[in-house]
Every structure is written in structure tokens, then in C-alpha cells.
Amino acid sequence: MVFKITRFNIEDIDKIYEIEKESFPKTAYSKETLIRYALGLPDTFIVIGDNKETAGYLIFDKTGHIHSAAIKPKYRKMGLGTRLFMYAKKSSRQRLWLEVRSKNAAALRFYKKMDMKVIKKIPNYYGNDDALVMILYKEPKS
């Protein structure tokens, strides 16, 4: 399987929405929200897949804020999340940052593996859960 990273294309919407519902059963973005992201961040809503299937996506912006990321369950733990993260890291100027649910142990492990550090906790940010703000500063090019 050769997975490639591309920019979101409207033809991806049903597959991305499916991944969204599988990944965030109670809090999935609607299709409208995903399309709004695609319109607002056309260069930084990125998708990974092969010629048959869409495996995941990551949305970030020019400040380095990662808004969302998910990999289809059957393609997890294969390094695809890492590839999307590295693409975002390469494209960002100084830093990457995000909010993550304190109870999302898998995502926390993933972002820690990406060298992100927790810098703050926002109590009850998600209503029933705290947000942890994580950040990664890029090293300046020498």
C-alpha cells in the first residue's frame, strides 16, 4: 500500500466524515463543519490515503494550531498519524500546538511521542473533561 498525502478534495468528504464518526463517536464534526474547514484552510486540511481508500486526515492552520486529526481505526499504529504530523511540522513556521482531552490517553501518547509538551490545563474545556494544551517549538534552521 502506498499512502500519499494530498490536500482535502470535496470528493473525500464522505470518507472523512466516516473516519470522524468512528474516531469521535460522541463529538464528531458535522459534514458542514468539515467543509467549512476545507474552505477556510484549503492548503492545510490534509488527507492521507492510497488510490482505493482514505485512511485519515489532519487539519492545521498557519499559526501552527492543529484543529483535528484522526486515522481510520484499521490503519492506526502504522505510522500514518506520524506522517501527517511531520507534514504539518515541516509546513509550520515556529511551532505546532493543540488542545487535547486529558482522558484521550492514546492521543496524549501519540503527541508526546511527537515531542509535544503539555504547557497548560484548561479545566472543563470539553464540559466533562479538561483540555491539555500541548506545544512543540521548531528548532530554528542553522
Residue 104 touches ligand COA, criterion: CB under 6 A:
yes
Closest residue by Cα to residue 55 from 76, 36, 38: 76
Residue 76 touches ligand COA, criterion: CB under 6 A:
yes
Nearer CB in complex with ligand COA: 38/55:
55
Q: How far apart are CA 59 and CA 8, in angstroms?
A: 9
String of contacts with ligand COA for each residue 34-53, x by CB under 6 A = --------------------
Nearer CB in complex with ligand COA: 2/140:
2
Helix (H, G, I), strand (E, B) or coil at 85: helix
Q: How far apart are CA 96 and CA 85, in angstroms?
A: 9
Grid cell, residue 103, equals 482522558
Residue 16 touches ligand COA, criterion: CB under 6 A:
no
Residue 113 touches ligand COA, criterion: CB under 6 A:
yes
